[in-house]
């Protein structure tokens, strides 16, 4: 990989909301009557952040790195996968300057949980809480997210080369 001073990365994810699963977003279990469906814990925000980091490094995406055909990642804690990817970022000679993210959910309300998500994610990524932005959006009742059938997340990250 070339050694630019800055590298930017964009991540996106979506998971279906289904009964009989815990709802885990941003490493936090959120009380709700449904949860996100996936091979791992289906943490949509953490997956978007992972893909933004891998994207910044122009590497394979999360599905290639942690395939859903691999039993090691069944019900995996996505925070462990994120830690793993942050280790790759550092091994490539970068640190994270800042992250900006959106959680797009019609229900439940994400806003009350955002400070706690930042408390979980910032130390894991060598960031202070002021360097990670997480915004809660709805889909204005439009499409699958608006009909409470799914939750989406987006993340953008700026990496800076360690001198
Ligand atoms: Zn995912």
Is residue 128 situated within a structural domain? yes
**CATH number of residue 151's parent domain:** 3.30.1330.50
- Domain residue limits at 65: 6-161
Distance 153 CA to ligand 1 centre (A): 9
Question: Domain tally for the chain?
Answer: 1
Distance 48 CA to ligand 1 centre (A): 7
Average pLDDT over residues 46-50: 98
Is residue 10 situated within a structural domain? yes
Is residue 121 situated within a structural domain? yes
Closest to 1 measured CA to CA, from 82, 11, 9: 9
Distance 87 CA to ligand 1 centre (A): 19
Distance 163 CA to ligand 1 centre (A): 33
Is residue 22 situated within a structural domain? yes
Is residue 136 situated within a structural domain? yes
Distance 19 CA to ligand 1 centre (A): 17
Is residue 1 situated within a structural domain? no
Non-local (6+) Cβ contacts of 83 within 8 A are 124
Distance 17 CA to ligand 1 centre (A): 12
Q: Which residue has the tokens 């900006």?
A: 100
pLDDT digits (tens, 9 = 90+) for 74-123: 878 999 999 999 999 999 999 999 999 999 999 999 999 999 999 999 99
**Average pLDDT, whole number, for the chain?**
95
């Amino acid at each position: 990989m070339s050694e630019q001073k800055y590298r930017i990365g964009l991540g996106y994810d979506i998971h279906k909301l289904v009964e009989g699963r815990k709802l885990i977003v941003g490493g936090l279990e959120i009380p709700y009557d449904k949860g996100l469906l996936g091979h791992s814990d289906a943490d949509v925000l953490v997956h978007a952040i992972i893909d933004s980091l891998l994207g910044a490094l122009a590497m394979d995406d999360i599905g290639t790195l942690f395939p859903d055909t691999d039993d090691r990642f069944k019900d995996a804690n996505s925070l462990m996968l994120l830690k793993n990817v942050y280790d790759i970022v550092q091994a490539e000679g970068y640190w994270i300057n800042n992250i900006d993210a959106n959680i797009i959910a019609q229900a439940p309300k994400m806003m009350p949980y955002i400070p706690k998500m930042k408390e979980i994610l910032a130390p894991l990524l060598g960031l202070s809480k002021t360097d990670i932005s997480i915004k809660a959006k709805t889909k204005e009742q439009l499409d699958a997210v608006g009909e409470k059938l799914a939750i989406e997340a987006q993340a953008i990250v700026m990496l800076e080369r360690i001198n």
